[in-house]
Structure 1
């Protein structure tokens, strides 16, 4: 049975752009904020550095102000993948077809290197979540891309390290490409373990491929406000 999607936060209606919807979905006793992006209708972009100052945006409000100068309205934003000291993306970061940070093949050190990890990429009106090695061999030339880890779901299978009994509970964010072709960004409303988070993408949202973005600092913004508490080194946005 398809679960109903009910928006519960920030006073927005569920549909705020041509295709974008922002909803709260309950599953397994947890609530998740889900932003659904239709690349046929929505303008999804990745941002790191302000093109004028070359400094990282760090906050949704800085990005909102920049877009306003361009005559655009920020409708939704969320953090990108894990980043290194100095507010630099830890892995691949591509904007407007330009590789600003190269692919990172590290296999040791934190969640990023909990292989398999992967890349979320957007190429025009197509999107995908690919394992890092598969992406490197694919020949895909993304317009935008971010690398993070671990992969939550790969080809319908949960990451082999995840266990239902896992004891690491954190607020988590991720992104999936689902069977209906839409992109879904998700942030848990309360701490969850990796197993539950991955299961939500696969079984509730029907996303056969999904990538973990980050943990406790994860946040989102809408046209009316932001839940951000920490700086970021990469921001995905939908604007009009």
Structure 2
């Protein structure tokens, strides 16, 4: 080996060694979905009681199927001080402090800069924000948008905004968001089959048997893929988009997916007390 080749060889070796040391020093890549230093484990069931993990069209997603007979679903927005919780992490911590630790919680609707809901928001039968039938820019206004609501008996529904208004429903809880993802078994007509924007997204659907399905992706997906997840995998004839890029998920008080972004309305699922044995 010539002197020149020897020098080049040793320089390359030093560069590789330095790069390896630098990578070891900085640790593993920060995962976009979890906000942690490690990529989330590939598990068959992340919460085997109600949630499972699947891969659909190359992206990982978590599907949580909630039976109103076994779980109570609620919407939360403000703490005892009257101020918005602002984040899913803050909401579940406050609920736990009150002795009401949820099974799971996620962001559940869009909000203005001051954290107030963009559209309808009802909590414990009290309307805190009215139904929004206006137009504008952004996902919320990609008509038809819709409403996720819960009745006093725990049953739930997802409906287009205009259909919801005409139905005259008096919900115990409701949150308006948009766009609808699936309407009567069909993909929203204005959602492209596979658009160019990809985000970690979350939403809700209601199956024909009345069970709720909350879904969130671990990997960025298009609107079209997310809508097909609800239609083809979750088997929801109607589904509503909650949000993208800010999507968060908590198991109890532990954050499973946490981008560190604010959240307005938040949905929380609680176990119902077991009936006393006769």
Which TM-score applies when normalising by structure 2?
A: 0.78
1:38 Cα deviation after fit:
1.0
Distance 1:163 1:59 in 2: 30
Distance 1:239 1:168 in 2: 34
Give the 3-state SS of the residue equivalent to 1:68 in structure 2: helix
Q: Which moved more, 1:67-76 or 1:169-178?
A: 67-76
Distance 2:96 2:209 in 1: 32
1:41 Cα deviation after fit:
1.4
**Which residue of 2 is the match for residue 235 of structure 1?**
266
Q: How many residues align?
A: 226
**Aligned in 2, Cα 1:96/1:110: closer, same or farther, shift over 3 Å?**
same
RMSD: 1.5
| 1:101 equivalenced with 2:129 (yes/no) | yes
**Which residue of 1 is the match for residue 113 of structure 2?**
85
2:148 pairs, out of 117, 120, 132, with 120
Indicate the structure (1 or 2) with the bigger Cα radius of gyration.
Answer: 2
Structure 2 unmatched runs, 5+: 1-42, 272-278
**Which residue of 2 is the match for residue 18 of structure 1?**
none
Structure showing the higher strand proportion among its residues: 1
**Aligned in 2, Cα 1:105/1:62: closer, same or farther, shift over 3 Å?**
same
**Which residue of 2 is the match for residue 6 of structure 1?**
44
1:61 Cα deviation after fit:
3.5
| 1:156 equivalenced with 2:185 (yes/no) | yes
1:224 Cα deviation after fit:
5.6
1:28 Cα deviation after fit:
1.6
Task: Check the 8 A contact 2:187/2:228 in 1, yes or no.
Answer: yes
Give the 3-state SS of the residue equivalent to 2:261 in structure 1: coil
Query: Pairwise mapping of residues 11-160 of structure 1 onto structure 2 (< 5 A)?
Result: 13-15=47-49, 21-50=50-79, 52-123=80-151, 124-160=153-189
| 1:207 equivalenced with 2:236 (yes/no) | yes
**Which residue of 2 is the match for residue 197 of structure 1?**
226
1:74 Cα deviation after fit:
2.1
**Which residue of 1 is the match for residue 11 of structure 2?**
none
Which TM-score applies when normalising by structure 1?
A: 0.90
**Aligned in 2, Cα 1:116/1:225: closer, same or farther, shift over 3 Å?**
same
**Which residue of 1 is the match for residue 206 of structure 2?**
177
Task: Check the 8 A contact 2:101/2:252 in 1, yes or no.
Answer: yes
Structure 1 unmatched runs, 5+: 16-20
Structure showing the higher helix proportion among its residues: 2
